[in-house]
Amino acid sequence: MRLLPPLLAALSLAGCATAPSDALRGTGDLGVVIERAAGRVQIVEHSGDTRLATVDGLGDLSHAHVTFSRDGRFAYVFGRDGGLTKVDLLARRIDKRVIQAGNSIGGSISQDGRLVVAQNYEPGGIKAFDADTLELLAEVPAEYAPGRFSKVVGLADVPGQRFAYALFDASEIWVTDFSDPRKPTTTRYPAGKQPYDGLVTPDGRYFLAGLFGEDGISLLDLWKPETGAQKILAGYGRGEEKLPVFKMPHLRGWSLAAGQAWLPAIGRHEVLVADARSWQESGRIPVKGQPVFVMARPDGRQVWVNFAFPDNEWVQVIDTVERRVIHTFSPGKAVLHMEFTPRGEEVWLSARDSNRVSVVDTTRFAVRKELPADAPSGIFFTSRAQRIGF
């Protein structure tokens, strides 16, 4: 009996070490910062701009992507090594983890929140998992010709339990319907050469695949898929020799602002602007380097741009009404990613080689806070859980 009190004390201490101190809280202001070299994520919150916890053991996070459960409690982290880790943001620990492929690039969650779908380079294809248990439900190999598999890019959830994605090696867009999760059906659409990434517009209607192998964007109207993919912004390079691309741009549904789509040019130091009704080019904005992320503030009044190596210390802000760069600054060395708070009053920027995340006021461009992080890359807030295509 005498042993019991110390034992209880030890147990309760052990409990304290893992359990969050503020046990009852919401999830709407939570997020995840990837520490890519360490295979670790930070759990952060943007009401007070603080780090809440770190979670280790997520494997190779050199190209990590995150999607969230619809209740904002779980982050599904896709690692380069094919690891899929379900992180509990409230308990601040790994809930489940599977190695689902040899080489993965990201993933997305279904309209009903029950399926998590991973997109893979090796073996090329997509896989659907039960969002609760991570049990494998179905697999769609990207076999575009007998024995030939493509790397899959640009996976985006679209309404109707469907996922749209592009095949880099096959120059096609595929749409897979998981209405029957164990028996998916896939429709193929020829697209432009070497799609490198894709996005779906916030209403879930248009899937756009950026092309590396030619100047232009492939666009599929998911409300009229029978018309097939058409090419927009064709020949934007005007036949001029491309500048080298030292990092591939990334597309996602943040590209629409002020009735226009704002897209990175490939091999040109420009942001392309297209009317989001007619899809005709309506302008282009010269910028400091090869754009990687061209990201609209949630209200659409600003578009923020970061750049590929060797211009990756810079960030530029475009005013979408004036259609010009209104601010240029460097939040640190090797700026890899940006994430806006849900209503856009601040943006978080990761500077890999400065080992920090900067929180910047989007009105005055003042640095509100700097948070230390070990070679941070992606920053993902739970507000993505409520958006189509994230």
Partner 1 sequence: MYRPLLIHVAVLLGLTALAVGTAQSAEPAPARQRELIHLVRQDCGSCHGMRLAGGLGPALSPARLADWPDDSLVATILHGRPGTAMPGWQRFMNEAEAGWIVARLKQGFPPLD
Which residues bind to partner 1, rule: CB under 8 A?
36-37, 60, 62-63, 80-81, 103, 105, 121-122, 151, 153, 168, 194, 196, 212, 244-248, 309-310, 334, 352-353
Could you tell me the strand order of the sheet in which 206-211 lies?
195-200, 206-211, 217-221, 230-232
Nearer to partner 1, 245 or 261 (CB): 245
Nearer to partner 1, 112 or 122 (CB): 122
Nearer to partner 1, 298 or 378 (CB): 378
| Least distance CB 308 / partner 1 (angstroms) | 8
Nearer to partner 1, 71 or 353 (CB): 353
Cis status, amide bond into 249, omega within 30 of 0: no
| Least distance CB 250 / partner 1 (angstroms) | 10
Nearer to partner 1, 43 or 245 (CB): 245
DSSP secondary structure string for all residues of 65-111: EEEE-TTS-EEEEE-TTSEEEEEETTTTEEEEEEE--SEEEEEEE-T
CA distance 270 to 265: 6
| Least distance CB 102 / partner 1 (angstroms) | 8
| Least distance CB 329 / partner 1 (angstroms) | 22
Q: Token pair for residue 69?
A: 């459960």
Residue 370 burial by CB count (10 A; 0-12/13-18/19+): exposed, middle or buried?
middle
**Would you give the DSSP letter of residue 27?**
S
Nearer to partner 1, 44 or 152 (CB): 152
Q: At residue 59, what is the residue type?
A: G
| Least distance CB 355 / partner 1 (angstroms) | 12
Residue 68 burial by CB count (10 A; 0-12/13-18/19+): exposed, middle or buried?
buried
| Least distance CB 372 / partner 1 (angstroms) | 18
